[in-house]
A and B are shown apart, each in its own frame.
Chain A
Amino acid sequence: MGRFKKTGNKETPGINTGSMSDIVFMFLFFFMVITKIRQGELFVRISAPPATEVQKLERKNLVSYIYIGAPIKSNLYGVEPRIQLNDQFATSDDIAEYITNERAARNEADRQFLTTSIKVDKKVKMGLVTDVKQELRKVGAFKINYSTKKGKVTD
């Protein structure tokens, strides 16, 4: 009965790496699927007022946005309306710099077409909006657009 003869060395065989690439690709695709490109996350609550005389914004890449509204996380940031530029809260003093950066990011020929779209919550008082407008005027951003939703105004 010498069939189960133990021959050769008795080292454990190495791990089969043949399917390693499958696992790596599985991970890669998994992360590709669950990742979303973050764009314009809002920190302020904005419910735009209705308006009838509306126009569609053309050339969205030439629009820079300013958001004004009460913070969504009111337990952290309070209920006073705040200005949001890019991904952070700002004050009206930061607007000049923001517009300068926005201009620098566009090419020379397009700069004159740069529009500033102001998205404001309907409950915000005009004082804050006016401050923003004054700042925009100082840096020469005269093309302003108020963002509204389409709807009836009069009752």
Chain B
Amino acid sequence: MPDPDAPVPEVNERNVFVVLVNAYDMLLVEGKPGSVNTLRQDAKNFFLNPSNSPNLSEKNLENIPFIGPYEKSKGVISLQNDRGTSYEMYVKVQNELAAAINEMRDELAMQKFGKKFSDLSEEYSKAIAKAIPVAISEAEPKDIGGTK
């Protein structure tokens, strides 16, 4: 059970990937109108930050068992939807974000162990999960578009 009095961890602005969905199932990704089709790539880009852009997530060199030094992203996806968002859209967005993380895990697993993430032994998959955690935070939904 999470402690309700736990201090709110401080998160730098650039480390938050904001995804908003409104009551009309429209996406706002990092302040710009976005689409489900590009969400996966955008999220991956945000975490991996291959060009070390100052607008994308920070990375921190960490020593992870079995993997060694790895530039772990400090990024967090913040997902907020409206009470009027359809469940279908919600699942689509969740699916794409999960797909982004799964793809990154698969790529790292391939590179380090030559196997897909799902085929790894328990300790290896734990190591990968440590390097690439599921950093999706869901905020309480807004009620702007109305519930109907």
Contacts and interface: CB of A to CB of B under 8 A. Distances in A.
Interface string B102-113: 100000000000
B124 interface: no
B17 to A, nearest CB: 18
B88 A146 contact: no
Contacts of B99: 52-53
Interface of B: 1, 36-37, 40, 81-88, 90-92, 94-96, 98-99, 102, 140-141, 143, 147-148
Given A49-B92, A53-B99, A125 B1 contact: no
Given A51-B91, A127-B83, A146-B91, 17 more contacts: A49-B87, A49-B88, A49-B91, A51-B92, A52-B99, A53-B98, A122-B87, A122-B91, A123-B86, A123-B88, A125-B147, A126-B81, A129-B87, A148-B95, A153-B36, A153-B92, A154-B36
Nearest to A53: B98
Interface residues of A, number: 20
A130 B141 CA distance: 8
B84 A126 contact: yes
